[in-house]
Amino acid sequence: MTLGLDVEIKTDSVIEPVTVAEMRDYLNIDFSTWDSLLTTLISGARSKMERYTGCTFATKTLVSTFQQVSSNIDIPYGPIQSVTSVKSINESGVKTTLVNGVDYLITGNNFKNIRFNYIDTAVEIEYIAGYDPLPVDLKVAVMKQVGMDFEFRENVMDSSQVVELSNGAKQAASSYRRVYLF
């Protein structure tokens, strides 16, 4: 059993997968008054949709730390472009770099799994993840979410219902949603 997952963004995305110009076209806005707000909403929508799907929409460097590890780990927030390092962490917090092919084996294409020969310590995995380019369905999901966030700034649809994600965004992204069974 793998327990105690902590994911840190070491280097965040530099470029958003949806541009302000694309959002203006989508929202049928032909002036730049809202550009600053749209920039913020795009970043927020991407982040929300990444949490919803369990995928990374734009290239970033992540560090995942697992406190208790079984012999197999699914690396979260793929697709994984490359694994930079895998380290064991002893009880004193000392990190030791492990060797691929000797201490562990990486399997999988876009979403990777690490199989350890033997491990009885915490593990830290640093990797680069993200779609390049972002699939059209996910781009549309971000745009639908920005559209809702732009229209309903407080995310309140009526007095009895608070909504964070738009149904259209969830529907567009649903086939990419990662499901983990523990």
For residues 142-155, average pLDDT: 88
What DSSP designation does 136 have? Answer: H
Share the mean pLDDT of the chain.
91
Please give the C-alpha separations between residue 154 and each of 2, 35, 42, 159, in angstroms, as whole numbers: 38, 19, 16, 11
pTM above 0.75, yes or no: yes
70 band by pLDDT with thresholds 50, 70 and 90: confident
Residue appearing with tokens 């994600």: 165
pLDDT in tens, 153-180: 765 555 555 568 999 999 999 999 987 6
- Give the separation between CA 69 and CA 156, rounded to whole angstroms: 41
What DSSP designation does 100 have? Answer: B
Residue appearing with tokens 């806005």: 29
CATH 1.10.3230 assigned to domain 18-53+133-176? The reply is: yes
Contact of 89 with 33, CB cutoff 8 Å? no
* Long-range contacts at 48-51 (CB < 8 A, ≥ 24 apart): 48/145, 48/164, 48/165, 49/138, 49/141, 49/142, 49/145, 49/165, 49/169, 49/173, 50/77
pLDDT score recorded for residue 57? 96
- Give the separation between CA 34 and CA 76, rounded to whole angstroms: 35
Domain range summary for the chain, segments of one domain joined by +: 18-53+133-176, 60-129
